[in-house]
A = this chain, B = another copy of it.
Amino acid sequence: MTEIPKTNLQWLLAERPVDRAVKESDFKLHEAPIPEPNDGEFVIRVIYSSLAPVMRFYMLDGAGIEEPLEIGDVMRGRGVGEVVRTKNPDYAVGDIVHGKMGWQQYAVADSSPYYLMFKVNQRIVSVSTALGVLGMTGFTAYFGLLDIGKPKPGEMVLVSGAAGGVGSSVGQIAKILGCKTVGIAGSDEKCKLLVEKLGYDAAINYNSGDIGAQMDKACPDGIDVFFDNVGGEILDEGLARINKYARVVSCGQISQYIGDGSPRPIQNAYKIGRLNALMQGFLIYDYAPRFDEAERDMVPWIKDGKLTYQEDILDGIERMPEGLIRLYDSKNQGKQLVRVSADPF
């Protein structure tokens, strides 16, 4: 368990991973004073910090997702933490919030949309879930699958990145809804997890032989919903096997976040038009007005043991870069978090 910190250690961006993978030396550990809030602000002690594949883009210039970070900026990231000082009437000391906190021990925020702060109301499960199954990750699974994928009972739902934070929820929710589910992951160990722990009907190891042939075997009647977290070759092989009126949820493209930056051409994109299908991306924050609806559905599933979640928690802020690189190396099992300070709950 990490102690309550007396300093504010921060990870700064030191180098951009241009045309290459992220490495530890892209970041620099820095010691800053614990911040004081100005009017309208509040100070959060970060408890858990979340790692996500998109972070490589934060590090690069002009990625088009958010403003690029400057060299020397605190690395951007989401966290869950406890309000410890406040000059904002909407946030009291002791509130648990999640939102943009950066890779640091103490964060300052205000009510502006930039910080995307949401309060954690439930105490049924660890507040770390606000960074996972009961936060953006689980809500991404929920809204991507239900709102874009629109699965019907009996349909075949294929999930790539199936052992990851989003994918593991997608497969279980699809199963709760009565679908057949096939998951794709990068190792036999993960594939075992998919079938034995996450209820997938079958699993495909993309590092073990012909992906297309494995899909043919696991999805002999084609794919109705493809929840894709990976992009690239796996997206392409899935598109080759979609059924008429298929829905392809283009949720992530982790395979395209590494490498030389030029995305892999997709041979089977034409199938979208040819088969009256749909491919759609989405921004989870656009669903913010409906987060309550997701929580309302998901809490009972979690309580009933139908929706399990797995967290992969590293201890200590020192391990943030390691946590990020684990994602690109497919080493994480479940949602990758770092415990930045003691969890009092």
Task: Name the contact of A281 in the complex, choosing from B250, B267, B277 (C-beta under 8 A).
Answer: B277
Q: Are B267 and A265 in contact (CB under 8 A)?
A: yes
Total interface residues on A, CB under 8 Å, equals 32
Residues of B near A265 (CB, < 8 A) are: 265-267, 269
A184 to B165, CA, bound (A): 43
Assess whether A332 is interfacial by the CB under 8 Å rule: no
Interface of A is mostly: loop
Q: Quote the shortest CB–CB distance from A229 to chain B (angstroms).
A: 10
CB-defined interface of A293-320 with B at 8 Å, one 1/0 digit per residue? 0000000000000000000000000000
A272 to B263, CA, bound (A): 12
Q: Are B277 and A270 in contact (CB under 8 A)?
A: no
Residues of B near A270 (CB, < 8 A) are: 231, 253, 256, 263-264, 266
Q: Are A253 and B280 in contact (CB under 8 A)?
A: no
A-B pairs with beta carbons under 8 Å apart, 28 shown: A64-B275, A65-B274, A228-B273, A231-B270, A253-B270, A256-B270, A262-B267, A265-B265, A265-B267, A265-B269, A266-B266, A266-B267, A266-B269, A266-B270, A269-B269, A272-B279, A272-B281, A273-B279, A273-B281, A274-B281, A276-B280, A276-B283, A276-B286, A277-B280, A277-B281, A278-B278, A278-B279, A278-B280
Residues of B near A253 (CB, < 8 A) are: 270, 273-274
Residues of B near A65 (CB, < 8 A) are: 274
Assess whether A151 is interfacial by the CB under 8 Å rule: no
Known interface pairs A277-B280, A280-B278; A250-B272 also in contact (CB < 8 Å): yes
Assess whether A102 is interfacial by the CB under 8 Å rule: no
CB-defined interface of A238-264 with B at 8 Å, one 1/0 digit per residue? 000000000000111100100000111
Residues of B near A283 (CB, < 8 A) are: 276
Residue of B nearest to A280 (CB): B278
Residue of B nearest to A286 (CB): B276
Task: Name the contact of A268 in the complex, choosing from B263, B275, B286 (C-beta under 8 A).
Answer: B263
